[in-house]
A and B are shown apart, each in its own frame.
Chain A
Amino acid sequence: MRVPLSWLNDYVDIKDIPVQDLANRLTLAGMEVEAIETIGYSGAELPWNPQLITTAEVLAVGPHPDADRLVLVEVDYGGPEHEIAVTGAPSLYALKGQSDLHLKVAFAWEGAMLYDGHAEGFVLRKLKATKVRGVLSRAMVCSQKELGLADVHGDIIYLPDDTPVGVPLTEILGDHILHFEIKGPFGHLQCVYGIAREVAALFGRPLKRTPLEAVTRLGLTTVEQPDAVELEIPDSDLCPRYTATMIRGVHIGPSPLWMQLRLQRAGMRPINNIVDITNYVMLELGQPLHAFDYAQIRPRAAGAKPAIIVRRALPGEQMATLDGELRTFDAEMCLITDGGGPVGVGGVMGGLDSEVKATTEDILLEAANFFFLNIRRTTQLLKISSEAGNRFGKRVDSELALIAGARAAELMQELAGGFVDPIAGDLYPGKPAPFAVSYRPDMADPILGVSVPADEQRRILTALEFAVRDADDGTWQVLVPSYRLDVRHPVDLVEEIGRIYGYDRFPHTLIDEPLPPLRHNVPLEEEERVRDWLVGLGLDEIISYSLIDPADEVRLTPSGMTLALPGEVITLRNSLSPERSQMRRTLLPAMLRTARNNLRFLERVALFEVGRVHYRLATPDPDTAETGVAEPRRLALLLAGPRQGRWFEPTDRSALDYFDLKGIVEAFLERLALLDKVQWERGAHSSFHPGRCARVTIEGREIGYLGELHPLVCEAFDLPVQPVVALERDLEVLLDAARVAEGGKHVGMISPYPPVHEDLALIVDAGTPALDVQRTILQAGSPLVTRALLFDIYQGPQVGEGKKSLAFALTYQSPGKALDEKDVEKLRLRIIKVVEKQLGAKVRRA
């Protein structure tokens, strides 16, 4: 919302308040000034030099001796002599030959900086004295465009007749415009007068009531059924009040300059005097108005007077609105209808047919009130945005309707030559009772933490037009002004007191109370530890979008297999795009996309993400707070690219593979004390290479899959042809297990006795998992075999077809004594016996 200070000053005297101070004070009090726009004064886009750009009076227009299309104007600029200037302005040209004129204009002298009236856009130029066809012209009469007041080059500006001559133009047309960002549904702040009220309260200044008193000035009285129109509100829940004022015999034409400038500065385009007046009063008082062409309003029956009926729409009823759209209504929408059908969407937009036209003579002026929630429902469902709908949607005081209607009627009488019917219609079925809040001045301190004296509280409330009445028991009955629809509770009054008193005066304190019972957030602490470990293992953390493309789930299952994703997918009802239309059930698609995007610039990526996936499990139940949606945490890792970066000596440039990722995973599992508890088995997962995928479980619970991506998945995600290894696991299961493992963890004593090392090579079936062999050795040798490190794998003629040799470096060590050759021999034989029996292994002799 934009408020020109020249306008604001009509209601509260602010001339002596520096603009910046005014803006700061309003900002702190909740009316945030986002920008201050300056017109004419220094700081404006086009400052008007006060010496060179002044007011002046055109006295005569004479012919140019040598140019038919130009004239010479004689101008009184307040100096000792008159100045002659050349102009081609059409309205002055039309006066050629006339003298004894008294036209007040904006006059610029050579040296003044102005916009070029004839150039496209705003082009600065300096006014120079020039000879125009033999006549020296040192000054010019300015148009709006030249002064930066309009974007099209129109006629010159004519100032009001009472404008003094020879004063800087800034004093007449200069201005500051405050651009407000007002948060909240406050109808009462959406107008110049509403801001004026706040300024008056903040600065303790009187507020002029002129714009509210047009009813009195016009001597207007009201009846429910006036002569001109029959009024009926069958659905008064949607329309608590409808007033109709007749203005007869108006002349449609442009509105005066001052009104046009105010509208422009407030951000609206002038249209004609009648429409401008309705807009002007809306901007001034916050009440949307609608002017009907009275001649177009139909009676219910021939011979009857025209009728206005405010009712719910019939389902499927249609009307073309002012914007030219044909609208279809549902049975909850409020229509303004006449004897023949709809003529407007109540409080939102008028109908095309009853619009004011150039030929309109009689105006039926509607000033009504509409129920805000229904207005909002209607504008949202019809997707209509209008000034009226926007304001009514933020609640407008129903008491304002007649006041604003009279104000507009008064202006129409004054500026459009109309005559106001002295009796207006006012049907007010929803008149609210006066509202008072029971309040005690000691309610403020416990909320604010500041003792605002009772007198000061009373002063603030009174300044904001609340009426404070003392009750016997020390409570106050605070009568709320009708326009303060936002104030309903004592705490609302506390806020008023706090913000006017000034938050900048509040001390800064810290909570002075015992701490609540302290708790660990164990899941979060674990999650953060996981992040640290993975960063320590050389991975970069990513955080990706939770909304994904449904096609991505399909891309993960290229080979006709089904991908087992949990629960039921969550899809949006309104999405920005198909690519962001469903909640992820797996972290993999985002991981793959991130890899793809980064591999365009980087040769190697090593990524992890810890984040939630979302899927539906049950029906939501607000009573139990259950959303019915599971949001477990997942962990995904991905590696792609060469194992080592380039260096000036050769490095390992082969592609990262399954074992690189497994190494990271093992190190990570070791951190979680789970390395010796997980089971690795060949996994069948549609996204992974069938021969290079592991399913990882812990005590029978699946925690995830690790593998090289299936080449078709790489293709589907447009990844380069190289092994991309990824892992997705259920972090919840993993962390549960880790918690158990951490609980049962023992520190192994470090033996002071020397270990014995020896190698043992075993020949087993080629398909036997190495991990089984290793674990069997360790079990058989437990507890004295402390390590069995696989250091060689051999397949070939020496071990025979379908066989392989696995060589382990064994470490024997006892915590209680130095092992001798006999002890070791005994252990070795035991191990060999077990592996022979359980795995069909044979010792490979050198």
Chain B
Amino acid sequence: MTLFDALEQVYNEAQAALESAMVSPELETWYAAYLGRKGAVTLQTRAVGQLPKEERPIFGQRVNEVKQALEDAYVARAEVIKQAEMLHALESGAIDITLPGRPVTQGHLHLTTRTLRQIYDIFAMMGFEVFEAPDVELEAYNFDLLNIPDYHPARDMWDTFWVQTPPGEPRLLLRTHTSPGQIRAMRERSANQEPLRVILPGKCYRYEQITARSEHQFYQLEGLAVGRGITLTDLIGTMHQFAELFYGAGRKIRVRSSYFPFTEPSVEVDTQCILCGGKGCGVCKYTGWLEIAGAGMVHPVVLQNGGYDPAEWTGFAFGMGIERPSMMKYDVSDIRLYYGNDLRFLRQF
């Protein structure tokens, strides 16, 4: 066999071997075997010296051609193998994407905090700032200054927790409503005879047996606006605005005459039942309406007690429960879930 024949044979062999290289290590072995320093093709190059002088260039040229062809074939093959290997790696790297993610602990705001914030935001748009007043309150602020003297039948509207105080001292109680804050806010702002728009949130307490529908502690939010030309239609418009922003656009309200000692006229504000939309259901006692607030024009005596001259100033006030709206919205049937702090309940919000 001539050197030429041997070269062609190596070349054929190499091509065949390359075809059978399936993975990177095999490819590298192939490269070493043919194109490496001691590879078969490389060794052929060295054999050129054995040839007669005139054949050497021809042989050399052919060797180079073979080398180049094999180098190209190697690159092409390497690419094919790389693709195949990546494909394989991706295939074998598949996971069950339905498996649960690594657990992350998340915190939750209390439902009451969420509701309060929603209400703060709505009233902030209408220029109401939040004003806070104490939970443990003077009897005078909770009752007398709000036009509810001792033994007055209106006091029946609030079952009161009284604080033990030494005899002869002014009596203290746990506020039964957020209304005492009205007097505090008015007295603070009437010092400058400036108009007033505040909302007063807070815990209230009533001497009531604890059941699914009533709690001895609950949140209320009071609103109070005092100005030189505030009217009952402003109260109604404000309540309507609130109902639309809180319960949803297009929501209607209904205003009924009512009685509170510290407002005159007094009204109650209903909105269409959020469950039945006004058609009538068990939640709204088949009336189609749910009460959202007690309200009215601030009683002249109360304005006076707050430091505003009723001849010059008028105002409106409203008070609403905080738990009831979310109980209705989320169909919560037991108010005890709120301050019993069952996390299985609270974590849903």
Using a CB–CB distance below 8 Å, which chain A residues touch chain B? 27-30, 32, 34-35, 183-186, 372-374, 376-377, 380, 393-395, 445-450, 489, 491-492, 494-495, 498-499, 503-504, 506-521, 523-524, 528, 531, 534-547, 570-576, 580, 583, 594, 597-598, 601-602, 604-606, 608, 612, 614, 619-622, 625, 627-629, 631, 644-648, 651
Q: Is the CB of B339 within 8 A of A614?
A: no
Within the complex, the shortest CB–CB distance from A655 to chain B, in Å, comes to 15
Contact call A516/B127, Cβ cutoff below 8 A: yes
In the bound complex, what is the Cα–Cα distance between A321 and B342 (angstroms)?
48
A543 touching B113 by the CB < 8 A rule?
yes
Which of B161, B342, B344 is packed against the most chain A CB atoms within 10 Å?
Answer: B161
A629/B134 contact (C-beta < 8 A), A373-B152, A543-B113 known: yes
- CB contacts (< 8 Å) of B135 on chain A: these are 546, 583, 612, 614, 631
In the complex, A509→B100 CA distance in Å?
A: 53
Q: Are A543 and B341 in contact, with the CB atoms below 8 A?
A: yes
B220 within 8 Å of A (CB atoms)? no
B227 within 8 A of A: yes
Q: Mark B314-349, 1 if CB is under 8 A from A, else 0.
A: 100000000000000000000000111111101100
Q: A513 to B231, Cβ gap below 8 A?
A: no
**Given the known A-B contacts A516-B196, A546-B135, are A509 and B285 also in contact in the complex, defined by CB atoms under 8 Å?**
no
Q: Interface readout for B193-231 with A: 1 if CB under 8 Å, 0 if not?
A: 011110000010101011000001100000001011111
B169 contacts A620, C-beta separation under 8 Å: yes
B346 — nearest CB in chain A belongs to which residue? A540
Q: How far is the CA of A377 from the CA of B216 in the complex (A)?
A: 24
In the complex, the chain A residue whose C-beta lies closest to that of B202 is A612
Q: Indicate if the CB atoms of A622 and B138 lie closer than 8 Å.
A: yes
From A30, A506, A511, A575, contact of B225 by CB (8 A) = A511
A450:B233 contact, CB within 8 angstroms: yes
Chain A residues near B154 (CB, 8 Å)?
Answer: 184-185
Compute how far the CA of A374 lies from the CA of B152 in the bound complex, rounded to whole angstroms. Answer: 10
How far apart are the CA atoms of A491 and B310 in the complex, in Å? 11
Determine the chain A residues whose CB is within 8 A of the CB of B217 once the complex forms.
545-547
Chain A residues lying within 8 Å of B314, measured Cβ to Cβ, are 446-447
CA distance A528 to B114 in the complex (A): 11
Chain B stretch 88-119: residues in CB contact (< 8 A) with chain A:
99-100, 102-110, 112-113, 117
Contact A606 B136 (CB under 8 A): no
Chain A residues within 8 Å of B227, by CB: 511, 513, 516
CB within 8 A of B170: which of A516, A612, A622?
Answer: A622
**Cross-interface CB contact of B107 among A449, A536, A602, cutoff 8 Å:** A536
Query: Which A residues are in CB contact (< 8 Å) with B344?
Result: 598, 601-602
* A576-B207 contact, Cβ under 8 Å, with A30-B257, A511-B225, A513-B228: yes
Q: CA–CA, A279 to B233, complex, Å?
A: 42
Chief secondary structure at chain B's binding surface: mixed
Known contacts: A376-B151, A511-B234, A576-B210. The answer to whether A598 contacts B136 by CB under 8 A is: no
Tell me the B280-327 residues at the A interface (CB within 8 Å).
Answer: 285, 297, 299-300, 314
Convert B111-151 into 0s and 1s, putting 1 for each residue whose CB lies closer than 8 angstroms to a CB of A.
Answer: 01100010000000011011110111110110000000111
Q: Sample 5 A-B pairs with CB under 8 A, ordered by A number.
A: A491-B264, A511-B227, A573-B164, A620-B169, A647-B100
- Is the CB–CB distance between B233 and A448 below 8 Å? yes
Chain A residues near B241 (CB, 8 Å)? 510
Residue contact A447 to B137, C-beta cutoff 8 Å: no
B108–A540 CB distance below 8 A: yes
* Residues on A with beta carbons closer than 8 Å to the beta carbon of B229: 446, 512-513
Nearest 7 Cβ contacts at the A-B interface: A449-B231, A184-B259, A30-B257, A449-B233, A185-B153, A535-B107, A495-B265
In the complex, are the beta carbons of B264 and A506 less than 8 A apart? no
Question: Looking at the complex, which one of A28, A394, A448, A570 makes contact with B163 (CB distance below 8 Å)?
Answer: A570
CA distance A507 to B238 in the complex (A): 11
With a cutoff of 8 Å between Cβ atoms, the chain A residues found around residue B108 in the complex are 535, 540-541
Set of chain B residues within 8 Å of A446, measured between Cβ atoms = 229, 231, 314
CA distance A492 to B256 in the complex (A): 16
Closest to A594 in B: B341
Known contacts A183-B259, A513-B230, A516-B196; decide if A598 and B341 are in contact (CB<8 Å).
yes
Do A511 and B238 touch across chains, with their CB atoms under 8 A apart? yes
Closest chain B CB from A176 CB (angstroms): 15
A residues in contact with B136, CB < 8 Å: 570, 583, 614, 627, 629, 631
Contact between chains at B170 and A621 (CB < 8 Å): yes
Given contacts A30-B259, A499-B265, A572-B164, contact A598 B103 (CB under 8 A): no
Q: Does B236 contact A (CB under 8 A)?
A: yes
Which of A395, A507, A545, A619 is close to B339, meaning CB atoms less than 8 Å apart? A545
Q: A645–B232 contact, CB under 8 A? A: no
- 18 more contacts with CB within 8 A, not counting A449-B233, A511-B126, are A28-B256, A34-B285, A373-B149, A506-B236, A509-B236, A515-B197, A516-B197, A518-B127, A540-B108, A541-B107, A541-B346, A542-B341, A543-B341, A571-B163, A576-B209, A629-B172, A631-B136, A645-B103
A667 CB to closest chain B CB, in angstroms? Answer: 12
A619 proximity list for chain B (CB < 8 A): 169-170
B126 touches A625 (CB 8 A): no
Minimum CB–CB distance from B183 to chain A (whole Å) comes to 8
Q: Name B residues whose Cβ lies closer than 8 Å to a Cβ of A.
A: 99-100, 102-110, 112-113, 117, 126-127, 129-132, 134-138, 140-141, 149-154, 157, 161-165, 169-170, 172, 174, 184, 187, 189, 194-197, 203, 205, 207, 209-210, 216-217, 225, 227-234, 236-238, 240-241, 254-260, 264-268, 285, 297, 299-300, 314, 338-344, 346-347
Q: How far is the CB of A597 from chain B (nearest CB, A)?
A: 7
- How far is A276 from B206 in the complex, measured between Cα atoms in Å? 37
- Flag if A539 contacts B107 (CB, 8 Å): yes
Query: Once bound together, how far apart are the Cα atoms of A448 and B131, in whole Å?
Result: 26
Q: In the docked arrangement, what's the CA distance between A800 and B254, Å?
A: 82
* Bound complex: CA A604 to CA B110 (Å): 18
Contact A491 B300, CB 8 Å, known A184-B259, A575-B161? yes
The answer to whether A620 touches B172, judged by C-beta atoms less than 8 angstroms apart, is yes
| A510-B196 CB under 8 A given contacts A542-B341, A570-B136, A620-B138 | no
B341 & A538 in contact (Cβ 8 Å cutoff) = no
Query: If the complex has contacts A183-B157, A571-B164, are A515 and B232 also in contact, measured as CB distance less than 8 A?
Result: no
Interchain nearest-CB distance for B167 vs A (Å): 12
Output the least CB separation between A439 and chain B (Å).
14
Q: Which of B169, B195, B233, B257 contacts A499 (CB 8 A)?
A: B257
Given A503, A535, A625, which contacts B267 in the complex, CB threshold below 8 Å?
A503
Are A651 and B105 within 8 A (Cβ)? Answer: no
Find chain B residues with CB under 8 A from A543 CB. 110, 112-113, 338-339, 341
Cβ-closest chain B residue relative to A583? B136
CB-defined contacts of A34 to chain B, threshold 8 Å? 285
A183 to B203, CA, bound (A): 23
Q: Which chain A positions have C-beta within 8 A of B257?
A: 28-30, 495, 498-499, 503
Given contacts A509-B234, A546-B135, A612-B135, contact A531 B153 (CB under 8 A): no
Which residues of the partner chain A approach B164 to less than 8 Å between Cβ atoms? 570-573
In the complex, the chain B residue whose C-beta lies closest to that of A392 is B153
Query: Quick one: which of B151, B207, B234 contacts A373, CB cutoff 8 A?
Result: B151
Query: Could you tell me the distance in whole angstroms from the C-beta of A123 to the nearest C-beta in chain B?
Result: 25
**Smallest Cβ distance from B231 to chain A, in angstroms?**
3
A531 surroundings in chain B (CB, below 8 A) = 109, 113
Distance between A445 CB and nearest chain B CB, rounded to angstroms: 8
Which residues of chain B are near A492, meaning CB under 8 Å?
A: 264
Q: Quote the shortest CB–CB distance from A572 to chain B (angstroms).
A: 5
Q: Chain B residues near A535 (CB, 8 Å)?
A: 107-109
Contacts of A27 in B (CB 8 A): 256
Q: A547-B217, A576-B207 are in contact. Are A521 and B131 (CB under 8 A)?
A: yes
Q: Collect the chain A residues with CB atoms within 8 Å of residue B300's CB.
A: 489, 491
Separation in Å of the B128 CB from the closest CB of chain A?
9
